[in-house]
């Protein structure tokens, strides 16, 4: 009769397999959720109502996905996008605790530590001491403010689009410190340094990345 019923050890193995199939991974002390893109978006909308924040999350998510595919991390593209979608999760409600509250929220939802590290590291030298280490984290750090600047420059153009935007136009506005003053040139420059890229190269790549996801839902 024993052959008809799985042994206790087999039951726990079945539960482990089912958890993996459902996007969960067993970890010492609890179950770690691998958040899907849909779940990431739902979480963002749970904490953010402002159109600007939602659009920014979507843009940075799309840009991150493009960079993943371009830099040879195609199999991680969804994860890079999720990092982009969630990176400012706490900013609308907790601007004073930006990247700190974020860790708390994600941890309470069972998010995996690499997602928490990746998103929180873009607040390096601002609100947290978690430095960008992985190339993905350095890209996020560099493009976060830059997408804001490029988006603002694009809106000044007749097309209101990045499709016909050139690096030199962005560089012109870069020098005008009063233009989109909230987009820190210092942080963007530090991001380029972290990546070991020339600023022009970073700007060009980010324009291409923004073209890939402009008007995408
Ligand atoms: Fe951001």
Ion ligand 1: residues, CB within 5 A, are 88, 144
For 102-144, write each residue's pLDDT tens digit. Answer: 999 999 999 999 999 999 999 999 999 999 999 999 999 999 9
Collect all residues with Cβ–Cβ distance below 8 Å to 145 and sequence separation of at least 6. 183, 184, 187, 188, 191
Provide the number of structural domains found in the chain: 1
Does residue 163 sit within a domain? yes
CA distance 116 to 138: 15
CA–centroid distance, residue 157 to ligand 1 (Å): 23
CA–centroid distance, residue 166 to ligand 1 (Å): 22
CA–centroid distance, residue 38 to ligand 1 (Å): 19
CA–centroid distance, residue 75 to ligand 1 (Å): 24
Indicate the average pLDDT of the chain: 89
CA–centroid distance, residue 62 to ligand 1 (Å): 13
Does residue 46 sit within a domain? yes
Does residue 184 sit within a domain? yes
What pTM value is reported for the model?
0.85
For 146-199, write each residue's pLDDT tens digit. Answer: 999 999 999 999 999 999 999 999 999 999 999 999 999 999 999 999 999 999
User: What is the helix (H) or strand (E) element at residue 212, kind and residue range?
Assistant: helix 199-213
Is residue 3 pLDDT above 50, yes or no?
A: no
Does residue 3 sit within a domain? no
Is residue 14 pLDDT above 80, yes or no?
A: no
User: What is the helix (H) or strand (E) element at residue 32, kind and residue range?
Assistant: strand 30-33
Does residue 4 sit within a domain? no
Domain range enclosing 39: 11-213
Query: How far is CA 124 from each of CA 40, 98, 133, 181, rounded to the nearest angstrom?
Result: 22, 11, 11, 20
């Amino acid at each position: 009769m024993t052959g008809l019923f799985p042994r206790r050890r087999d039951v726990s193995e079945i539960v482990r397999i089912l958890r993996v199939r459902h996007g969960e991974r067993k970890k010492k002390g609890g179950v770690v959720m691998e958040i899907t893109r849909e779940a990431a978006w739902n979480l963002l909308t749970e904490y953010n109502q402002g159109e600007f924040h939602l659009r920014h999350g979507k843009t940075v998510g799309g840009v991150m996905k493009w960079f993943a595919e371009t830099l040879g991390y195609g199999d991680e593209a969804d994860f890079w996008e999720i990092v982009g979608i969630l990176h400012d999760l706490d900013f609308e409600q907790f601007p004073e605790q930006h990247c700190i509250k974020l860790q708390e929220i994600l941890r309470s939802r069972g998010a995996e530590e690499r997602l928490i590290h990746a998103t929180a590291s873009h607040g390096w030298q601002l609100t947290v001491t978690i430095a960008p280490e992985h190339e993905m984290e350095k890209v996020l750090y560099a493009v976060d403010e830059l997408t804001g600047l490029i988006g603002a420059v694009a809106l000044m153009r007749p097309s209101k689009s990045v499709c016909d935007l050139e690096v030199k136009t962005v560089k012109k506005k870069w020098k005008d410190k009063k233009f989109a003053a909230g987009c820190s040139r210092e942080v963007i420059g530090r991001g380029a340094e972290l990546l070991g890229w020339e600023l022009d190269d970073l700007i060009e790549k980010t324009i291409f990345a923004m073209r890939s996801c402009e008007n995408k839902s």
